[in-house]
């Protein structure tokens, strides 16, 4: 009996030792592939992540800029035992973004799963491919045209609110822009109104802001990454309480919309192209995946994804554009001249044809997104070895695609920190590397809603500038960049506003 026990124990130990040897050898091979990459000094277990624990949120972007100047093109960091490679140049970013294999998002996106499930933003593999194919028609130009009226109506509400400000006195326009963007996305995505601009006590609006803030709070505190610890914490409990508000609201709208659609079908009714416009939700209700109707959960995660991606990012871009125009009156005057050519003395809402004619304003928006991309970093998990320049990036590495740094490459932009819409004149873009400007990502996982965003931004900005002259009270060199779920100015967008002469 003792002999059998001894044999079994020896056998078990042999298996364990063999496994550990294989594991160690794989780790050795992994580290060997990373050997030639530059980066800060790393320590066992903790890597080089200790410095992050002592940084304030408003210091993260400054630290990132310092590393860009130090390493120029690529560098390696260790978050504990996890390797993260930062790509800072267009030709390196091109390899990562064009890959049809390495499309899995990084661990940072895991914090969004409770809210968004595995919708288009967070899913990967076959599910992502099927959803992308299914949802793409919802962003067809003809459908986007229906949304332009919503953009105009909500922008007009924003203008009426801005008229109540005291002209010549400083105020923060950023919250007002955010509420306008939230109104637009709610009506476009769900076909329902929350009146974020006029109604100050909406549970849904409050929950959107709370959940967004709590996701960031968790992301910056590694000890809250474990699910059971997060759920027991006071912040975690607040997160799930607000999350229930969001999901209950979306579920209610979906049920009501589905019942209304079924009733219409049973009565054989039709809109005949007149009257009620279709929201993104309606298009999802009509869509099928592999011949099957999408479930309640399927639809909710896509609507929630559209809500999440479609309001904060757009608001940030518009806010930065206002800030830059307020600091560059000569550029603002050129935009207004273009708007006067389009609208004359008319007070009408912009049509899609008007928006397409706003060529210079589009250059302003592009230059804004070059300097301040709403999402300055994109994270991917490398699932298959890939070669970037002279470097082999092995499977198992997290890649951080730094759009903020890529947009500041000196060999593509002669004065990268200067706001210059002429960077996007045709003669200046034709010879530039195609991945030197990628605010909406690129390749197979590029942003599906970028045309929607551009039309919305043009509508809101043109509505404001037709009525008001804006003057920024802070300079570009003095602004502190804050990395939240989007890139924003820490102090908001402080401006003075004056009525534009008719």
Encoding tokens for residue 237?
């409990």
| Nearest to 282, CA basis, from 194, 192, 190 | 190
Taking residue 198's Cβ as centre, other Cβ atoms within 10 Å add up to 13
Three-state SS for 259?
Answer: helix
Taking residue 73's Cβ as centre, other Cβ atoms within 10 Å add up to 17
Encoding tokens for residue 305?
């994804």
- Quickly list DSSP for 194-243: --TTT-TT-HHHHHHHHHHHHHHHHHT-GGG-SHHHHHHSHHHHHHHHHH
Query: For the chain, how many residues are written?
Result: 502
CA distance 150 to 191: 10
Q: Dihedrals φ, ψ of 219, to 5°? A: -60, -30
How far separated are the first and last CA of the chain, in Å rounded?
101
Q: Does 186 appear as a known binding residue?
A: no
| Nearest to 255, CA basis, from 281, 288, 290, 293 | 281
How much of the chain is helix, strand and coil, in % rounded to 5?
60, 10, 30
83: enclosing H helix or E strand: strand 82-87
- The label of the residue with tokens 């009501």 reads 256
- Establish how many alpha carbons lie within 13 A of residue 434's alpha carbon, considering only the half-sphere containing its beta carbon: 7
Count the helices and strands in the chain (H runs, E runs): 19, 14
Decide: 251 and 192 in contact? Cβ < 8 Å: no
Decide: 326 and 461 in contact? Cβ < 8 Å: no
Three-state SS for 423?
Answer: helix
List beta partners, residue 104. Answer: 381
CA distance 313 to 317: 6
CA distance 429 to 90: 14
Taking residue 435's Cβ as centre, other Cβ atoms within 10 Å add up to 23
Three-state SS for 295?
Answer: coil
Decide: 217 and 181 in contact? Cβ < 8 Å: no
| Nearest to 449, CA basis, from 305, 342, 287, 267 | 305
Residue 309, burial from CB neighbour count under 10 angstroms (0-12, 13-18, 19+): buried
Q: Which residues are annotated as a binding site for heme?
A: 447
Annotated binding site: 447
């Amino acid at each position: 009996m003792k002999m059998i026990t001894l044999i079994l124990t020896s056998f078990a130990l042999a298996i364990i030792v063999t496994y550990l040897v294989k594991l160690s050898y794989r780790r050795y091979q992994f580290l060997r592939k990373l050997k030639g990459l530059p980066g800060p000094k790393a320590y066992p277990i903790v890597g080089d992540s200790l410095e992050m624990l002592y940084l304030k949120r408003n210091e993260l972007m400054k630290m990132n800029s310092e590393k860009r100047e130090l390493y120029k093109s690529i560098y390696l960091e260790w978050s504990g035992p996890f390797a993260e490679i930062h790509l800072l140049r267009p030709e390196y970013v091109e390899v990562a973004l064009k890959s049809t294999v390495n499309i899995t998002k990084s661990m940072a996106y895991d914090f969004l799963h409770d809210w968004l499930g595995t919708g288009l933003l967070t899913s990967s593999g076959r599910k992502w491919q099927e959803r992308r194919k299914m949802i793409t028609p919802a962003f067809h130009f003809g459908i986007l045209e229906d949304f332009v009226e919503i953009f105009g109506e909500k922008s007009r509400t924003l203008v009426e609110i801005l008229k109540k400000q005291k002209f010549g006195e400083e105020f923060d326009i950023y919250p007002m822009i955010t509420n306008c963007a939230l109104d637009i996305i709610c009506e476009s995505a769900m076909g329902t109104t929350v009146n974020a601009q006029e109604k100050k006590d909406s549970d849904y609006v409050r929950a959107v802001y709370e959940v967004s803030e709590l996701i960031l709070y968790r992301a910056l505190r590694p000890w809250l990454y474990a699910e059971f610890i997060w759920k027991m914490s006071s912040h975690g409990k607040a997160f799930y309480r607000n999350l229930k508000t969001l999901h209950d609201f979306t579920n209610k709208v979906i049920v009501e919309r589905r019942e209304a659609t079924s009733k219409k079908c049973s009565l054989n009714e039709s809109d005949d192209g007149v009257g009620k416009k279709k929201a993104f939700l309606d298009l999802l209700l009509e869509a099928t995946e592999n011949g099957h109707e999408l479930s309640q959960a399927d639809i909710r995660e896509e609507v929630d994804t559209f809500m999440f991606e479609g309001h904060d990012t757009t608001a940030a871009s518009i806010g930065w554009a206002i800030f830059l125009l307020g600091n560059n009156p000569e550029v603002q005057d050129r935009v207004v001249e273009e708007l006067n050519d389009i609208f004359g003395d008319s007070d009408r809402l912009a049509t899609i044809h008007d928006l397409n004619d706003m060529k210079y304003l589009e250059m302003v928006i592009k230059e804004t997104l070059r300097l301040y991309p709403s999402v300055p970093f994109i994270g991917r998990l490398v699932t298959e070895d890939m070669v970037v320049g002279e470097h082999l990036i092995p499977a198992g590495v997290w890649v951080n695609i730094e759009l903020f740094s890529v947009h500041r490459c000196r060999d593509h932009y002669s004065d990268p920190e200067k706001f210059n819409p002429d960077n996007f004149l045709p003669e200046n873009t034709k010879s530039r590397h195609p991945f030197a400007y990628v605010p909406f990502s690129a390749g197979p996982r590029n942003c599906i809603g970028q045309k929607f965003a551009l039309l919305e931004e043009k509508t809101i900005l043109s509505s404001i500038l037709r009525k008001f002259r804006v003057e920024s009270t802070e300079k570009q060199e003095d602004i502190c960049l804050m990395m939240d779920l989007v890139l924003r100015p820490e102090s908001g967008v402080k401006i003075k506003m004056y009525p534009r002469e008719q």
